[in-house]
Chains A and B, each alone.
Chain A
Amino acid sequence: MSLQQSKDQLLNAYREMKTIREFEERLHKEIMTGEIAGFTHLYSGQEAVAVGVCQHLDHQDLIVSTHRGHGHCIAKGCDVKGMMAEIYGRSTGLGKGKGGSMHIADFDKGMLGANGIVGAGGPLAVGAALSAKLDGNGKVGICFSGEGSINQGAVFEAMNMAKVINAPAIFVIEINGYSEHTGASYSVGGVDIAKRTEGFGLKTIEADGCDYHAVYDAMAELLDYSRSGNGPSAAVFNTTRFFGHYEGDPQNYRAKNEVKEHRSSRDCLKKFCSDNLSGGIISQSEIDEIDVSVMALIDEAVTEARNAPPTPMEEMEADVYITYQ
């Protein structure tokens, strides 16, 4: 039995999951045109985690994300057009085109940044949590991570530090099956990630990361725990990645039908719809309406990003420091 959510809340959650999905599916197509430079790591398949977590948060709750960060950004309220422009490397991007896909941040929204260094978010999230603790405002610092970062020393340090200083940090670990091109069954010694987090004294919940309601409910419990001064906690969500590590990854390490099967049986958007349509809480026409407006938003975002002016050369050495004599 999952927690009660209002119709507005459910429709909002669906809109965000759909926005992430279409943002990523569209990027997958646009990247093939050669117009977008560099590495792009798509989040499709994992939407229920980002949205199920961030539905509980406001702008004063702080998150840090990963190289696969678009979903966390959208779920935390980053401007979709500003994100698209950033990925196109345009002056209108959230980072004026100087960060790129792996470094989207919006501090006003409590989004402290995607990150190109696997595991680096752990210490930063503990710092965000420390800030909340010092302010006594009941807010949290959340570290999104995966089975890649769970093998980084920085994350172990961060979990231990969070426990030692009793900071309201929550480690959200998204197990999508792979760290880059290597399976979790190979790279995670001992395999059981929840045992690791429990070993650091973190209250830990495991749940199906392809089930929005399961994620939402798990986070409700952990947030209540960490917001109440009990210290850090962790969520381990099993999920799936619909694309490769990066766009262009031939994915030779995956069984031929794996993605196809996951798209058919482990699609969190499909599950969300069937769960909530069958109960009559939301209607197909409401879903359709959201789909149309999301598609329009993504179209506009791509068109505007394409037509936006490039980042001017004066930006090269700007923003390195606030002041420098």
Chain B
Amino acid sequence: MAIKTYREALNEVMHAEMERDSNVFVCGEDISGGAGGTSGEREASGGIFGVTAGLLPRFGEDRVIDTPISENTIVGMAAGASLAGKRGVAEIMFADFVTLALDQMMNQAAKFRYMSGGKAKCPIVIRVPYGAGMNMGAQHSQTMYNIVTSVPGLKCVMPTNPADAKGLLTAAIRDDDPVVFFEHKAMYGRKGEVPDGEYILPFGKAALLNEGNDVTIVAMGRMVLFAEKSVATLRGEGINCDLLDLRTTSPLDEDSILDSIEKTGRVVVVDESTPRCSLASDIAGFIASHGFSSLKAPVAQVTSPHAPVPFARELERAYVPSPDSISAAVRKVMNYK
């Protein structure tokens, strides 16, 4: 075990997997940065968030591909190469730009295997920095994972700590299906213990981060961090929560959700997405259909509002769900008679 940041954990996995399997390559905008610049410095950025630093000097330009600003082709190229036996790891600089690559993600990579009757294999990973909280405005702050989760054929992964980042990215690169891997921009500096050596986490297994008999909190991505704070506050009020970190939203760990609700009878789903067709509404619907008899109170959903992400500091702070808004929702379901 060693203390590492979320960014370092991801970076080490890419180094290790490129070392382990010569079929792995990475591509994206400015993943090394500097090509064609006047300074002559040929790793000028190592990725806009520094996640791909050091790959170019170690593995060379053929396997570490700085691309033009062409998201659809970044994903399509990685998908085409992966159909032909490679393992492409594509970076989409901001989740919002997924819209530009959606044809290759949703119509192509997601459907090859089905349309070919099980013959195609497209082991691509699309890494996607996402999320609000850094004053980047409406086109650089969205979640997008709710859209990806809805697509049959794509897997959707979102680690919340450095250890999970290592275990889940290793699993994603070795997975034979297309995986979209969501990294919250505000979590890159988060530190934590990371297991040494090879470490792989299975998809579809939520982590139970806190145990309590009163309320279940289901959260994903950065919302898990806020939910942890809320859990601590509520403990002081005598309210004890199960906290489930979903880790992957497709596949979804349905059993862990239902098991917890059977115990608590009360549930709050926390999702950074906007409310319509969100993970919160999806999971609330699932619970209503499959866990209704366990419920003692309506399912509460804590999401961002039905509005674009605002720029102004005060507005953005209030836009994203917070420990306080999660605690308020928990108190409400506790007080429901």
Q: Which residues of A contact B (CB under 8 A)?
A: 62, 64, 93-100, 103, 105-107, 112-113, 115-117, 120, 122-128, 130-134, 141, 153-154, 157-158, 160-161, 164-165, 315, 318-325
Contact = CB atoms under 8 A, between A and B. Distances in A.
Contact of A325 (B75, B77, B251): B251
A120 B113 contact: no
A123 B176 contact: no
B63 A124 contact: no
B116 A95 contact: yes
A128 B80 contact: yes
A157 B72 contact: yes
Contacts of B76: 120, 122-124, 126-127, 154, 158
Best-surrounded residue of A64, A103, A125, A134 (most CB of chain B within 10 A): A134
Given A124-B83, A130-B77, A158-B73, 15 more contacts: A95-B117, A103-B116, A105-B119, A123-B72, A124-B76, A130-B80, A132-B84, A160-B70, A161-B68, A164-B67, A319-B117, A321-B153, A323-B175, A325-B203, A325-B204
A154 B73 contact: yes
Interface stretch (B10-18, B102-110, B319-327): B102-110
Contacts of A154: 72-73, 76, 103-104
A131 B86 CA distance: 7
A113 B204 CA distance: 30
Interface of B: 25, 62-63, 65, 67-68, 70, 72-73, 75-86, 88, 103-104, 107-108, 111-121, 152-153, 155, 175-177, 202-205, 251
A149 B73 CA distance: 14
Contacts of A157: 68, 70, 72-73
B251 A123 contact: no
Contacts of A160: 68, 70, 73
Nearest to B112: A113
Given A153-B72, A325-B203, A127 B118 contact: no
Contact of A161 (B25, B77, B155, B175): B77
A98 B251 CA distance: 23
Contacts of B107: 116-117, 120
Nearest to B176: A322
A322 B113 contact: yes
Contact of B84 (A93, A112, A165, A318): A112
B155 A98 contact: no
Given A105-B120, A127-B79, A122 B73 contact: yes
Contact of B62 (A115, A128, A134): A134
Contacts of A324: 155, 177, 204, 251
Closest 6 CB pairs of A and B: A127-B80, A123-B76, A96-B117, A124-B80, A325-B204, A131-B84
Nearest to A82: B117
A125 B153 CA distance: 21
Contacts of A318: 118
Q: Which of B63, B72, B84 has the most CB of A within 10 A?
A: B84
A158 B108 CA distance: 15
A98 B155 CA distance: 21
Nearest to B61: A165
Contacts of B85: 131
Contacts of B121: 322
Contacts of A126: 73, 76-77, 80
Given A116-B107, A124-B76, A320 B120 contact: no
A94 B116 contact: yes
A130 B64 CA distance: 12
Contacts of B205: 325
B81 A128 contact: yes
Given A103-B115, A120-B103, A130-B77, A112 B83 contact: yes
A127 B72 contact: no
A130 B68 contact: no
Nearest to A91: B117
Contacts of A158: 73, 76-77
Given A96-B118, A113-B115, A134 B86 contact: yes
Contact of B25 (A116, A124, A134): A134
Contacts of B119: 94-95, 105-107
A236 B119 CA distance: 32
A90 to B, nearest CB: 11
B10 to A, nearest CB: 23
Contacts of A325: 202-205, 251
17 contacts: A98-B114, A99-B116, A99-B117, A107-B83, A112-B84, A122-B76, A124-B79, A127-B76, A127-B77, A128-B81, A131-B80, A154-B76, A154-B103, A157-B68, A160-B70, A319-B117, A325-B205
Nearest to B106: A117
A107 B120 contact: yes
B88 to A, nearest CB: 7
B86 A123 contact: no
A4 B65 CA distance: 40
A240 B141 CA distance: 48
B84 A62 contact: yes
Contacts of B65: 130, 165
A79 B207 CA distance: 48
A323 B176 contact: yes
B126 to A, nearest CB: 13
B117 A93 contact: yes
